[in-house]
A and B are shown apart, each in its own frame.
Chain A
Amino acid sequence: AQSVTQLDSQVPVFEEAPVELRCNYSSSVSVYLFWYVQYPNQGLQLLLKYLSGSTLVKGINGFEAEFNKSQTSFHLRKPSVHISDTAEYFCAVTPMNYGGSQGNLIFGKGTKLSVKP
């Protein structure tokens, strides 16, 4: 079974400052990793995903994440945030091996990013 831990439930930051949202996972098999963003009163949309290859993944809106297999982490970063980045961010994993499930995502509990002027 897989589990995802998002270490911070809330992250306040000032506009134009850098931000890192932390995600650690637990799994006995290799996983695919995702970050989704949920803007207020909306559904989720994909920011980026790691399937294979380079461990540094670039996504939309200037976000990037680095997969660290030894530390089982997939932290999300942005060098300079904007007010419009205020949202809730979810880390998610799914096992690479078939294992009987059809690609079901296991989500973390979310991190609320609040960007202040």
Chain B
Amino acid sequence: NAGVTQTPKFRVLKTGQSMTLLCAQDMNHEYMYWYRQDPGMGLRLIHYSVGEGTTAKGEVPDGYNVSRLKKQNFLLGLESAAPSQTSVYFCASSYGGRMDTQYFGPGTRLTVL
């Protein structure tokens, strides 16, 4: 099992460009999450999904959109990138909700110039 994989691992964008981050999991998990990690800030939840076709906002959703068309995939989109979106992005998945372990991907390091 690959667990949770993220594509790409690194990306550099110019302000105003768009991109999509792909997260895939092969554990048949219902719940999937997108976090961003900034130095000294811990992890903050951007969006999450509790099943195929569902999405919901987390703590810091502005400037991001998500889609969960297939159970195993969770996409994070930036329509018009800003320097404030420079961060490391982590995807995670879990079988159930609040008491279940979340399994994290290796992260995507995004720099917006």
Contacts and interface: CB of A to CB of B under 8 A. Distances in A.
B93 to A, nearest CB: 11
Interface residues of B, number: 29
Interface of B: 4, 31, 33, 40-45, 48, 50, 56, 58-59, 90, 92, 94, 96-107
A61 B105 CA distance: 20
Contact of B104 (A41, A45, A51, A94): A45
Q: Which residue among B44, B56, B99, B106 has the maximum number of chain A CB atoms within 10 Å of its CB?
A: B99
Given A44-B102, A110-B40, 8 more contacts: A32-B99, A41-B106, A43-B104, A44-B90, A46-B102, A94-B99, A109-B40, A110-B42
A102 B107 contact: no
A88 to B, nearest CB: 10
A49 to B, nearest CB: 7
A102 B104 contact: no
Interface residues of A, number: 25
A71 interface: no
Interface string A68-98: 0000000000000000000000100011100
A103 B105 contact: no
Interface of A: 4, 9, 32, 36, 41-46, 49, 51, 90, 94-96, 101-105, 107-110
Contact of A104 (B45, B101, B104): B45
Contacts of A109: 40-42
Contacts of B94: 103
A51 B99 contact: yes
Contacts of A90: 42-43
Contacts of B100: 103
15 contacts: A9-B40, A43-B92, A43-B105, A44-B104, A46-B102, A95-B98, A96-B98, A102-B97, A103-B31, A104-B45, A104-B58, A104-B98, A105-B45, A108-B42, A109-B41
Contacts of A43: 4, 90, 92, 104-107
A102 B101 contact: no
Given A44-B90, A102-B31, A102-B56, A49 B42 contact: no
Contacts of A101: 98
